[in-house]
Amino acid sequence: MELALAYPAIKAFMCGSLSGTCSTLLFQPLDLVKTRLQTLQGGVQPSSGRVGMLTVLQSVVRTERLLGLWKGVSPSFVRTIPGVGIYFSTYYSLKQHYFQDGIPGPMEAVLLGAGARGAAAVVMLPVTVVKTRFECGRYSYRSVGGALRSVCQTEGPAALFSGLMATLLRDVPFSGIYVMFYSQTKASLPKEIRLSPSAPLANFCCGILSGVLASLITQPADVVKTHVQVNPGLRTAEAIRYIYTAHGLQGYFRGAVPRSLRRTMMAAMAWTVYEQMMARLGLKS
């Protein structure tokens, strides 16, 4: 029985990893811009999300060339490929175990999404710390492995789990809210659309709407997480105070535009690819 459940979960892991690979490669520049905005790299002082985003894009291309927009893509791959795989395999296993004969309701969908994301976030947090540092431009790490060793040697192993609370406060609610909105909006689609060839496009649109709502709600936690992981020794409570003192309430929404674009598009693409691949493998996602 356990083997029968494990085999589909492995397929879900593979489908999730592939969807994460595609979305990471496409949207890494948005993640880099978001991190630079939040840490105010290069003296950039954006007056608004849109202007700040364009200013950072131009600055990176001018000083680091076009490929500079993909700085940090290596740790992003190391984090996302297994991370999204863990997320979807955990989600699939939980759903099959608790809701094999029924459709999860709104609150049940929140718990499924939150539980799956919590597991993936904790496991992949060390790579998330390294990824954030790669993107901020303050560190000169040459490889993911070298960065992990450097952090352990200079700051101690505990530094690899810096920002754990802020990460969980960002990722767990995001995933729970996203899955709830996504499952409910998808279920509300007319049957003729759900069974038509345009169903993947309709699901993608549902994912975009869900991603925007979830991103905006969890944006402050993302800003706090970035500051904690980029500044060794800074605690979550201290980061919250610093952001408010330095930038006011609007400081908690720095980088909201690129993050919303990236998280929304990544989540929508990941879920669309995952569901299509699972369907081709004859499994119910």
Is residue 222 in a domain?
A: yes
Is residue 208 in a domain?
A: yes
Overall number of domains in the chain: 1
pLDDT digits (tens, 9 = 90+) for 238-278: 999 999 998 899 999 988 888 888 888 888 888 888 888 88
Is residue 285 in a domain?
A: no
Domain that holds residue 50: 2-280
pLDDT digits (tens, 9 = 90+) for 77-125: 888 888 888 998 899 888 888 876 667 888 999 999 999 999 999 999 9
pLDDT, residue 101, reads 65
pTM over 0.95: no
Structure tokens at 59: 């600055």
Domain CATH code at residue 9: 1.50.40.10
Is residue 50 in a domain?
A: yes
Is residue 13 in a domain?
A: yes
Please count the other Cβ atoms lying within 10 Å of the Cβ belonging to residue 119: 18
CB < 8 Å & 24+ apart, contacts of 97-102: 97/5
Whole-number Cα distances in Å, 9 to 5, 81, 85, 141, 228:
7, 15, 10, 35, 34
